[in-house]
Structure 1
Amino acid sequence: MVRLVSIWVERSYFMIFQEEFEQMRSLEQDLTFLSAKTEFDESNIPFKEKNLGIQNQDGIYTNLGLLLSDQCKHTIKVAVFDGEKQSEFQDRNEFAGSLFKQMHEVYSYIDFRNQKHSNFSGLKRINKRDYPEVAIREALLNLIVHREYSYSASSFIRMYTDRIEFTSIGGLLKGITLEDIQLGISVCRNPKLANIFYRLELIEAYGTGIQKILDSYSGSEFKPQFVTTENAFKVILPNLNHPKKNSKIQEELVIYDCPENKILEFAKAHTQFNRKDVQDTFNLSQTTCGRILSRMKEEGQISQHGKGKNTFYVLK
């Protein structure tokens, strides 16, 4: 009971804070809404800017309006790798514009690469795609609806031969744990944005997305994984048709999980640091340490300076 009360208090606080962010005046006022109007028209819902919170009562566009406008400054970067590591790019793309435009274009980009494989059970052919479509849909919507838009860094989607990773800016809200969201408890970071996606029937009741992802892998030896740090949330979808066992992803999670949190705390206490400092402090191998620092740099958590032996990092 005490736990539920605590969650309710934290939820109320963050909903007030995020509503203030969504309602704050957008720095950009020369906005258009071609993609948003198309989305509303297809759902037969009137596009009324003030009623939706896109404009305030004075006719000023809000941050929520900026997110749905064609001039939205936040982007999603997608990279496709040839293999299970980031050693060789196959393709990369950056998607911009209204969140609705990004949603459709990113889904199509992934869906095109979601290959179908066939096998036979007796005389019957069974087709199975690499990733459940519902899992991709829910992971993408989670990336868009629940990210922290007060930061300008892009969201990332990385496609490997054995998995897809969806990484959004903003960790879990205070008072909520990974176990909580897997039980269906949801504290919405962007309540007005979520409400619009709900009205358009793009999402259902809050807190169902994670369970849908888990259910889509029901009966499979492969299981999706969820990783959270202080500043990011990652959904990892394993490739159902990949020959390797799920143990590969479990092994990678040792790299993805706790070290980033610890390195962030280490960075806060030091003006600058190098790879050897981190390697010795956390007893990591040179390869693992380099991989973590590269990932943190890509995700905008730290910045790299200098060259060669004089390379050092600072908290961004």
Structure 2
Amino acid sequence: MTIEEIKKGETEKLEFKREIPSKDSKLMKTVVAFSNRHGGRIVFGVDDETHEIIGIENEKVFRLMDALANMISETIEPQVVPRITFETIEDKTIVIVEIVEGQNQPYFLKAEGISDGVYIRVAATTRKAEYEKVKELMLWGERKSYDKIFEKHEAVSEESALHLCHAIEKYNKKNPVTLANLTSWGLLKEEDGKLFPSIAFRLLETGDIHFAQVQCGVFRGTDKVYFIDRKEYSGPIYEQIENAYNFVLQHINIGAKIEGLYRRDIPEIPEEAIRELIVNAVMHRNYLAHSYIQVCIYDDRLEITSPGGLYGGLTLEEMLQGSSSIRNELIADTFLRMGIVEKWGTGIKRIADLCREHGLDEVEYSATDFCFTSTIRRTRKDLFEPVVPKTSSELPDNDRINDRISDRLHDNDRINNGDDRLNDRINLSESEKQIFSEIEKNPFVRTEELASLTGVSMPTVNRAVKALREKGFISREGSKKSGHWLVLAQNQENNK
């Protein structure tokens, strides 16, 4: 531990305490959160607000270390074994509790049980894990992939199963695919002469899993206030990829290169990079999360956000170096067989090379426990021709199909594009924009956390939340304690 680290303040993996209180449940929640994430350190003898080194009295150091070890052992399950040491900085003694990422997740407080006692780390704060996060941690602890699970579900028809066989054949254009293949790969299982689907089969074929959708939107300016166009794509996830990919191509600028007697269109963002990022979002998202993949086009960037952060202890640095941790193993296997992906772990480097060759800045990646975001800056858009939106007759078949599926959005699009008075009614104040932005990033954020994240008072937060709900931007699903926000800006029905 260095003075420089202390001066930088608390982080996702670092917390300060002046001294150890007696039976501090908040302290134990942080130990649980570190065990359920990438680990971390708790430093005693440092003021968490001023970062001043207070120190621990020498005669109390070893007593403190013993008390910490006993408290952790007595209050947390499964067993957490911390590394507890002390150091001298500026002639003052500090005690450091180092927690490594646990291998038997989820960890929880014994007194609260596994249903209520699981905590995770969000930025520099500790918070209770929602049900979906607890379930994912349980699967990780059991080394299971959610998409391989066969939940209670009605049998699927042979016709439906054969449809997926033909879809895989169409993509790979190599070997025929049979029902026996789907069973041997784990997509289906046969019981009493009936075929039952895995989660992966349902995602690839039936499309009946709620929130397994891609929302696409084009916005005027650089934030999510004014829609220019939007679509929601459901159905088989490989079709969602194609539809989202085509949506982006329809709404970015196009340049041209003359090759001999022919003109070749060149999008401002490499097509392969767009497709790769969308594939990654669909393949690696957390399908337990109650939120959608969002593909957003702004004046200055393309932004793709996928529910669920990096999986299995993988860090952003490791990902950028080519490492990968597969959240949905069966979907990844199937995409590999279909030729949608070529090889695991190579996409990030390929995207970087494509953007570099195209003269674009490096892709920006960010990750939290709740989402993963990829951003490509539109730094060369002025070199390309303005996009001319295509009519529905010019779109690929999948787009026309999804136009029919999204009929309920069609009227709203016309209202939003044709009536400027609507934009006047949904104009947001600066505090409302800040609150809305934080809710978009984390639909599970609590109102008291919004005050801390935005730096505004609780009365201002409450007024902004009330205004956003009245204007139809957000709604609440579930209780105040365990519920979450629904972002409704893409469906302006409440704003009419």
Give your verdict on TM over 0.5: yes
Matched, 1:65 2:193: no
Structure 2: gaps spanning 5 or more residues:
1-37, 39-99, 105-138, 384-433, 485-496
Deviations 1:269-301 (A, max 9, x none): xxx43855643379xx99xx99xx99xx98x9x
Q: Which amino acid in the other structure matches residue 155 of structure 1?
A: I
Q: Distance in 2 between matches of 1:15 and 1:100?
A: 29
In 1: Cα distance, 2:285 partner to 2:450 partner? 29
Specify the alignment match of 2:376 in structure 1: 237
Note if 1:223 corresponds to 2:362.
Answer: yes
Q: Could you tell me the TM-score, scaled by structure 1's length? A: 0.71
> How much does 1:231 deviate?
0.8
CA contact (8 A) 1:81 1:158 kept: yes
Letter of the 2:197 counterpart? Y
CA contact (8 A) 1:116 1:128 kept: yes
Change (3 A) 1:57 1:80: same
Q: Partner letter of residue 181 of structure 1?
A: M
What corresponds to 1:37 in structure 2? Answer: 165
Other structure's SS at 1:173 match: coil
Q: Quick one: distance in 2 between partners of 1:110 and 1:14?
A: 34
Write the letter of the residue equivalent to 1:50. Answer: T
Q: What is the Cα deviation at residue 27 of structure 1?
A: 3.2
Distance in structure 2 (CA, Å) of the matches to 1:303 and 1:314 = 11
Q: Which moved more, 1:214-223 or 1:74-83?
A: 214-223
1:56 aligns with 2:192: no
**Structure 1 residue matching 2:167: 3-state secondary structure:** helix
1:97 aligned onto 2:235: yes
Separation (CA, whole Å) in 1 of partners of 2:360 and 2:243: 30
CA separation of 1:82/1:313 partners in 2, compared to 1, >3 Å: closer, same or farther?
farther
Q: Verify: 1:86 aligned to 2:224, yes or no.
A: yes
Residue 252 of structure 1 is matched in structure 2 by none
Residue 112 (structure 1) aligned with residue 250 (structure 2):
yes
**Aligned pair 1:164/2:292, yes or no?**
no
Alignment: residue pair count:
277
Quote the RMSD (CA, aligned, Å). Answer: 4.2
Q: Which amino acid aligns with 2:185?
A: L
Distance 1:114 1:19, change over 3 A: same
Matched, 1:280 2:413: no
Distance 1:16 1:138, change over 3 A: farther
- Counterpart CA distance in 2 for 1:228 and 1:157 is 16
**What's the CA shift for 1:80?**
0.9
In terms of mean alpha carbon deviation, does 32-41 or 187-196 score higher?
Answer: 32-41
User: Is the radius of gyration larger for structure 1 or structure 2?
Assistant: 2
SS of the aligned residue for 1:46 comes to: coil
Residue identity in the other structure for 1:153? S
Are 2:319 and 1:176 aligned?
no
How far apart are 1:304 and its partner, in Å? 8.6
Contact 2:219 2:228 in 1 (8 A): yes
Deviation (angstroms), 1:226 = 0.4
Q: 1:277 to 1:28 in 2, by over 3 A?
A: farther
Find the aligned partners of 2:178 and 2:296 in 1 and give their Cα distance.
Answer: 34
TM-score, normalization by structure 2:
0.47
